[in-house]
Amino acid sequence: MAAQAQYDALLAHVKATIALSQVAGLLSWDQETMMPKGAAVQRGEWFGAMETAIHARQTAPEIGEWLAALEGADLGPEAAANLRLIRRSHDRATSVPVDLAVEIARVTSVSQGIWARARAEDDFAVFAPTLARVLDLKRQEAQALAKGGDPYDAMLDDYEPGMTADKLERLLGRLRHGLVDLRDRIRGSARRVPVLDHHFPEDRQMQLASELAGAFGYDWNCGRLDKAVHPFSSGSGNDTRITTRVDPKNPFNCIYSTIHEAGHAGYEQGINPAYLLTPLGRGVSMGVHESQSRIYENQLGRSRAFCGWLFGRMRDLFGDFGIRDEDDFYALVNAVGQGFIRTEADEVQYNLHIGMRFELEHALIKGDLSVNDLEAAWNDRFLADFGFAVDRPSNGVLQDVHWSVGLFGYFPTYSLGNIHAGCLHDALTKAVPGLERDLAAGDTGNAIGWLRENLQQHGGLYEPTALIERASGRAISEEPLLAYLEAKFAGIYLS
Ligand code: ZN
């Protein structure tokens, strides 16, 4: 068979697998938004059946034969990128022994419940034996994937291909120094940020959320907005859905969750439609995905210019809500607090949370830290980086679900997203000179047009690092992020 025909047959197989994965994704969306409570067990059976079907397709022996036949074939850059991605996913799916994969699925299906109980009881000892088991299994899996290389790098490769622990240590280490220094100066500032005390009706918040998603380029013809306990976006191509949550006392939860998820969804919606259902037709990595959600949310959505517009819209919708003017509103939206919880952290301290999780999980995977010593290590590091002590495990080592379900190597992608967003924003401000004026009018069109043109449309065509460097015109570095944070927060707190 000619190379083109082999490639077409392979791609047809992969497209049908991707279609099934998207159906499974829709079932997850439904579970978080619409599913009747009583359907949970039945849904578990659906997921199991889908997983079995998808795994069988991903490990089908024909894939190996097609890939071998296509070795060295030249079918153009898009086919080459598809083949690279198919090869990687086939390698990963076939490297892990089946009984190990089954055991990981079995253990992680119950470990999340044990973590939730430990968190509710505020007792790390309830969770520690389960975490030790999950860690042991994930280390075995990483060793199988690494094929003699570094196990933690193999884990990273699942979420951020090409990234290594060595590179992360350097990036996040330098970021940490800059952030601790900035945070200390902010804490010494006499500037007091106003406090919000008002009731914001749910229907108006949802109205504003819809308006904001639209203002950030979300295509309503190919999406929808619903409520979920933990906001997320799901899907790709022409069915990309977002969720948000509503707290009547704190509208910023809804507002910035919506903008964040519109960033994830906008990336998926912005990919070249010709890539639909192929490996190229989705965001290239978790870090690049997070760069889009964070630049929408922070560099654009929390900018002084956009806050001026948002303040006006909120006054229209909610009346006088006790904030005097645009400057006070901007300071409120960007307030640097003193909290324990990563998901509630401000832009200055967020990456300190990620840095400590990265170093702790890296030590766990390397075997330098045991699960029994994890809680103490967490508390020591938190005190060193945040300047105050963890008061209880649910505010400390038990706050995040990730490790309970075996997500090691995932946390760093949050910081990479912020670092990437810093690089992209630096290039964006130079490429779109009227950006401030646009944002002050609530208009993100030129900014998002630039992101779409330079990054989003490419989907999986380039590797993550190459994509960011190509779009931002520079090597990946924490410097633009630190410079942006310094300028912004010095303006609010130190002037
Ligand atoms: Zn995100």
Q: How far apart are CA 464 and CA 290, in angstroms?
A: 12
Confidence label for 41 from pLDDT (cuts 50, 70 and 90): confident
The domain segmentation of the chain, as residue ranges, is 3-149, 166-494
Over residues 112-128, the mean pLDDT reads: 96
Over residues 90-105, the mean pLDDT reads: 91
Over residues 229-243, the mean pLDDT reads: 96
Confidence label for 109 from pLDDT (cuts 50, 70 and 90): confident
319 C-alpha to ligand 1 centroid (Å): 31
State the pLDDT at residue 102: 85
For residue 92, what are its two tokens? 């990963």
State the pLDDT at residue 40: 86
Q: Could you tell me the CA-to-CA distances from 396 to 48, 131, 374 in Å, in that order?
A: 33, 15, 11
- Give me the count of residues in the chain: 495
pLDDT at 384 exceeding the cut of 90: yes
CB 117 within 8 A of CB 398: no
Q: How far apart are CA 147 and CA 140, in angstroms?
A: 11
Mean pLDDT of the chain: 96
Q: Roughly how many angstroms between the first and final C-alpha of the chain, as a whole number? A: 70
Nearest to 381 by CA among 411, 399, 360, 404: 360
User: Mind telling me the catalytic residues?
Assistant: 261
277 C-alpha to ligand 1 centroid (Å): 22
Residue spans of beta strands (DSSP E) within 60-168: none
260 C-alpha to ligand 1 centroid (Å): 6
Angle (CA) 455-456-460 rounded to 5° is: 90
Say which residue the tokens 């089954």 belong to. 102
290 C-alpha to ligand 1 centroid (Å): 5
CATH of domain 166-494: 1.10.1370.30
Q: What residues are paired with 234 via a beta bridge?
A: 241
73 C-alpha to ligand 1 centroid (Å): 37
119 C-alpha to ligand 1 centroid (Å): 23
pLDDT digits (tens, 9 = 90+) for 411-458: 999 999 999 999 999 999 999 999 999 999 999 999 999 999 999 999
394 C-alpha to ligand 1 centroid (Å): 22
Q: How far apart are CA 441 and CA 215, in angstroms?
A: 10
pLDDT digits (tens, 9 = 90+) for 180-203: 999 999 999 999 999 999 999 999
CB 402 within 8 A of CB 411: yes
Confidence label for 164 from pLDDT (cuts 50, 70 and 90): very high
Nearest to 349 by CA among 229, 187, 159: 187
State the pLDDT at residue 44: 84
For residue 45, what are its two tokens? 């059976």
Over residues 228-252, the mean pLDDT reads: 96
State the pLDDT at residue 100: 94
276 C-alpha to ligand 1 centroid (Å): 22
Query: Helices H, strands E: what count in the chain?
Result: 20, 3
